[in-house]
Structure 1
Amino acid sequence: MGDLKILICVLIFSIKTVHSTKSKPHIVIIIADDLGWNDVGFHGSNQIPTPNMDALAYNGVILNRFYTLPQCTPSRAALLTGQYPMRYGYQGIPILAGENRFLPFQIPTLAKKLKELGYDTHLIGKWHLGQGYRNATPGAHGFDNHFGYWNGFMGYFNHEATGGNMVGLDMHHNDEPVWDTRGQYATDLITEKSEEVIKGHNESKPLFLIVSHLAVHTGKGGVDLEVKDIAENNKKFGYIQDERRRMYAGMTDELDKSVGDTIKALAEKRILDNTIIVFFSDNGAPTIGSALLDNTGSNWPLRGQKFTVFDGGVRTVAMIYSEQLQNKGTINNELIHITDLMPTLYYAAGGDVASLGKIDGINQWLTITKSEKSQRSEALINIDEARNVSALLTDGGRYKLINGSTVFSEVDGDFYGETGRDDSNPEYNTDDILHSSVNILLRGNLTQEKILNLRKQMELKSCRKSTIDHDSCRYNSVCLFDLFEDPCETTNIANKFPEVTERMKSKLEKYWSEVKVQRKGFLDPNANPVYYNNTWYPWLEDTRCHVGDLRTILLS
């Protein structure tokens, strides 16, 4: 292992960037699926070591108040469009396999806009924005190349997606099903294909790559947690008592390795010095609740989980790295919303943000790279008119107003997940971070003291209180929280600050007046993969069977 690290060091110090400072930056976005706030080491937990993710965070800028939507389809739509999903009826629960819902084709996406600037555009992994028609799949929304799956989740080994009682292969290269990768662990496969894109990239053009992981979402059937070797995983994480949590730890460990491998590929291609790397989770972790496809993640000490508008569901792990950062190794506490990534990255690529038209995202490039004050004073967390749930942040993220909190009544208004801070867990190992491939590749100036200082600043362990009204904020009730003073959302201050409450209700009502009603989805039996050689296929495109005439035969 020591020789390997020396080899990597020699490789990196022998590399000289082939780009001038005026060339367009390459952009790589790495998305974790359902990763919890407390499932990375740099947020204070000792339970699951994440040395590569920690090193990326400590060497870059930690986005400490980064907000997403409470579930995956709306978050991914917001990322690509720079608009709140309620503008085009995408604010509800995620698309199910076999549902005829899709991202409106006429809305410009980040991939389309970067393509106009000359970028090669690639998506590896999860799409989850529709597949009923070919023009609902990634290729029609600006991606030159997609290798991955169309639906919300699949088995880590069998690569099958499930919608109701419909099951089929959901691994595709663009529109074509891919059978020969079955049995290959999904995290490894997504990493391998990302490396292929990077290593095969034509350096005369800038690269835009989204690495959209299945990890750490549940896998097979939406309920299984899957690791490559159960015996080895139990040995490595045997100190974790809960069996599912041990499996989750192993899945997170593979995700962390993938981050390291992806950054290594950028270095070997000699483009790392001119690459912007963004990492975030699409929403908070689900912890309990059958409807949530729980992965036993942890958002501790934050309140709530995936599908709720409490911070446990929408304040997520996020960081950015670039050589253009003038403030590496810092924590950014400005309010940043997932819609901001579109104009921010478009601006960094040399685009004119005004050409994006009227969007909700705000260009945060100077906020991130130079620690300037953010121009964002408020952010709409979500509006779901079908379930009467909404939430809004104002005053730079200080106040949050909630009207109802979740789309599922079985989990609401509580704290979930392990602390990762008791004596049963190993000590935080700073040497693992200093010797991680990411830290070596980034050639940073991290020290043990700096790591521990940044980690201490990130800790929220004292934000909980002994008493809390767990029944507050359900359904039609209104709650107000001061997140600067009460980041764990323990105390409803709506009655104590009626002026703030009324001001925010008025703002929220304006957003309510602008909502486009979400399209009601249903599982279309005609989407059944049995009609298409047991693969998911754009079933609304035409009546042809994907392979042969099996559908015609079955329907005759």
Structure 2
Amino acid sequence: MWYRLLLKIHLQHPVKMGLIYVFISVVIAIIVVVTGEKSGRPNIVFIIADDLGWDDVSFHGSDQIQTPNIDLLAYSGVVLERYYSHCLCTPSRAALLTGKFAHHLGMQGYPLTNGEDRGLPLTEKILPQYLKELGYSTHLVGKWHSGNSRKKYFPNERGFDSFFGHISGYIDYYEYVLEETWDSGKVSGFALYRNFTPAWDVEGYITDVYTEEAVSIIKNHDVTKPLFLNIAHNAPHSGNQASLMQAPPEDVRAMRHVELPERRTLAAMLKKLDESIGNIVEALLNKDMLQNTIIAFVSDNGGMTTGDPDYSVNYGSNWPLRGFKMSPFEGGIRVVGLLWTPTLTHHLWKGRMHVVDWLPTLLKAAGADDIPDGIDGIDLWNQITTNADTSRNDIFEIDDYTGFAAIIAGDYKLVTANVSLSNSDYQGDDLRGVIGEAPPYEDTIRKSKMYSILEKIGKPFNMDNIDLREKIRVDCKGRERNSSTACYPLNGKVCLLNIKEDPCESTDLSELYPDLVKELTDRLKAEIESRVPRTAPVFRDPRAAPKLFNYTWTYFADYF
């Protein structure tokens, strides 16, 4: 037998046997590199854009801002046609990480500021912790915004092996500072971190910086373990008041067909974001990981079309949807979403999905034996990948800080309490102007990295399928969009909307269906009673002042 021969050689020629062991180890290592992960679990790359509007990607139908790499991920993957999120960034990220609606965490409403001693509850087990138990290497690049006042709130203490990004809601694209307005005046601090340390040595446009970091993680990844890489871009969120919109000048000039200068800069910011997607997918291809990778791309909430600069206006368009960021109407919560794997054969899923569903869905995809109990998320993996009906029925948007609440139940939405009128009307159509003609869309698609990548993996894109975006485009079905006659829930008035037949939310049905109003009101009230209250005013702790910590935002509460 072979093992007796090895034993004889080992006893008689130990040095030779040592060389044989080394040779066998090298061969095994080569086999592992060539064939991929031992575990067989898929890599997961989850990419989040910040304040990306419904009409800010070209696969939703507009040629003004062209996003060919994102579009081809959508066309060759699955477009999540009715993907919903919370209407603000901290709530949506809390829901993603925990699988729970933000109002069950006390994280609903106005997002975290850097001067608050508050964070994602430490009692919650979050997505990277679950994945680490399955053997994943876990990394976060980009925005955290889930607590930074104490070291224990940082990503490294919550299941991520590494963190490189901004701890705040946004940063300047070149200087990496965040400015807040306190009662005492303006304060500003550096907010870019590598793990627990301010990354003072970094230079460059932050979208490129994050892309380079993500590509480096992929290049250096140990392929004997599955990878979970969460890339949470700053783009296209606005910067500080002094310089709201930022992009390299040459990229802004490349967008000269966009009429309005504010929108032109946003288009350049999205050009850089789209290039980032292409570079990340290319890195996966070069590492021979792409064929065993799940890629998700979503926005955290709707675009911020207009408003006071304090509220992060970025001139994103959710047209023709109604409302924008901070609103329970479709423009605030129905957002860009797609899922990609190399084996998908259908490309449009019409089922409802909410951000809370990602945790159980990705755990199922990763091969977890059990889905956690006590969460709001639903495992939709098989339903999405086989194009089956959704089991997600109810969706809630509860903000007891601002003072509104909404429920989506099947085809209907009920909006109650008091919404901000200026955030809930029809905006964005005036941002869509083009000077002359936009670049030919098909040419843009052919020149993209994703186009050549799909050819290299044996999944070439058929240009005949470019009409998929016509199937995705929201059709208001001839209904007039008029802000002056639209229903606004104020002073006891409720709005009942059929968002399937009336996706642009133009017609109130509350008087026509009083029994349905009562049913949904009762369900919404029961859900509100289950919330963890979030009614206290935002408190910006003076101990958090960056000047006390070498002009950085940091885990200030640990020092007192």
Answer whether TM exceeds 0.5 for this pair.
Answer: yes
1:392 counterpart residue number: 407
Stretches of structure 2 lacking an aligned partner (at least 5 in a row): 1-32
Preserved contact between residue 476 and residue 503 of structure 2 (Cα < 8 Å): no
What does 1:422-461 align with in structure 2 at a 5 Å threshold? 424-426=436-438, 428-443=440-455, 444-452=459-467, 454-461=468-475
Give the C-alpha shift of residue 140 in structure 1: 1.4
Cα shift readout 1:431-459 (whole Å, capped 9, x = no counterpart): 3213421132133242221112x011012
Give the C-alpha shift of residue 404 in structure 1: 4.0
Alpha-carbon distance between aligned partners in 2 of 1:484 and 1:409, rounded to the nearest angstrom: 23
Relative distance call for 1:107 and 1:234 in structure 2 (3 A) is: closer
SS of 1:98's equivalent in the other structure is coil
What does 1:242-391 align with in structure 2 at a 5 Å threshold? 242-290=260-308, 291-325=310-344, 327-328=345-346, 330-354=347-371, 356-380=372-396, 382-391=397-406
What does 1:87-106 align with in structure 2 at a 5 Å threshold? 87-106=104-123
SS of 1:333's equivalent in the other structure is strand
Q: Which runs of 4 or more aligned residues in structure 1 lie more than 6 Å from their structure 2 counterparts after TM superposition?
A: none
Alpha-carbon distance between aligned partners in 1 of 2:481 and 2:230, rounded to the nearest angstrom: 42
Structure 2 counterpart of 1:457, one-letter code: K
2:545 counterpart residue number: 528
What does 1:121-270 align with in structure 2 at a 5 Å threshold? 121-164=138-181, 165-182=186-203, 184-221=204-241, 224-229=244-249, 232-270=250-288
Relative distance call for 1:20 and 1:179 in structure 2 (3 A) is: closer
1:478 counterpart residue number: 494
SS of 1:506's equivalent in the other structure is helix
Cα shift readout 1:484-504 (whole Å, capped 9, x = no counterpart): 110000001111122221111
Alpha-carbon distance between aligned partners in 2 of 1:38 and 1:405, rounded to the nearest angstrom: 26
Alpha-carbon distance between aligned partners in 1 of 2:379 and 2:433, rounded to the nearest angstrom: 37
Alpha-carbon distance between aligned partners in 2 of 1:100 and 1:446, rounded to the nearest angstrom: 49
1:119 counterpart residue number: 136
2:11 counterpart residue number: none
Structure 1 counterpart of 2:339, one-letter code: I
Preserved contact between residue 34 and residue 285 of structure 1 (Cα < 8 Å): yes
Relative distance call for 1:385 and 1:533 in structure 2 (3 A) is: same
Alpha-carbon distance between aligned partners in 1 of 2:373 and 2:463, rounded to the nearest angstrom: 46
2:29 counterpart residue number: none
Alpha-carbon distance between aligned partners in 2 of 1:402 and 1:148, rounded to the nearest angstrom: 36
Stretches of structure 1 lacking an aligned partner (at least 5 in a row): 1-15, 544-556
Alpha-carbon distance between aligned partners in 2 of 1:464 and 1:540, rounded to the nearest angstrom: 55
Match 1:402 to one of 412, 415, 421: 415
Alpha-carbon distance between aligned partners in 1 of 2:131 and 2:43, rounded to the nearest angstrom: 11
Give the C-alpha shift of residue 419 in structure 1: 6.6
Aligned residues: 517
Relative to the length of structure 1, the TM-score reads 0.89
Alpha-carbon distance between aligned partners in 1 of 2:131 and 2:476, rounded to the nearest angstrom: 43
SS of 1:163's equivalent in the other structure is strand
Give the C-alpha shift of residue 384 in structure 1: 1.3
Q: Which has the larger radius of gyration?
A: 2
Preserved contact between residue 56 and residue 439 of structure 1 (Cα < 8 Å): no
SS of 1:65's equivalent in the other structure is strand
After alignment, is 236-245 or 197-206 more displaced?
Answer: 236-245
After alignment, is 200-209 or 383-392 more displaced?
Answer: 383-392
Structure 2 counterpart of 1:390, one-letter code: A
Cα shift readout 1:513-547 (whole Å, capped 9, x = no counterpart): 1011116331111101111111111000124xxxx
SS of 2:262's equivalent in the other structure is helix
Preserved contact between residue 279 and residue 319 of structure 1 (Cα < 8 Å): yes
SS of 2:164's equivalent in the other structure is strand
Cα shift readout 1:385-428 (whole Å, capped 9, x = no counterpart): 23320111112xx111111464x454333333447476744155
Alpha-carbon distance between aligned partners in 2 of 1:445 and 1:335, rounded to the nearest angstrom: 29
Alpha-carbon distance between aligned partners in 2 of 1:23 and 1:68, rounded to the nearest angstrom: 31
**% identical equivalent positions:** 36
1:32 counterpart residue number: 49
Preserved contact between residue 88 and residue 516 of structure 1 (Cα < 8 Å): yes
Alpha-carbon distance between aligned partners in 2 of 1:33 and 1:135, rounded to the nearest angstrom: 25
Structure 1 counterpart of 2:416, one-letter code: N
What does 1:509-528 align with in structure 2 at a 5 Å threshold? 509-518=525-534, 520=536, 521-528=538-545
Preserved contact between residue 305 and residue 428 of structure 2 (Cα < 8 Å): yes
Structure 2 counterpart of 1:210, one-letter code: N
RMSD: 1.9
SS of 2:363's equivalent in the other structure is helix
SS of 2:405's equivalent in the other structure is strand
Give the C-alpha shift of residue 323 in structure 1: 2.6
Relative distance call for 1:322 and 1:331 in structure 2 (3 A) is: same
Preserved contact between residue 258 and residue 434 of structure 2 (Cα < 8 Å): no
Relative distance call for 1:532 and 1:54 in structure 2 (3 A) is: same
Relative distance call for 1:255 and 1:70 in structure 2 (3 A) is: same
1:549 counterpart residue number: none
2:554 counterpart residue number: 537
1:412 counterpart residue number: 424
Preserved contact between residue 75 and residue 338 of structure 1 (Cα < 8 Å): yes
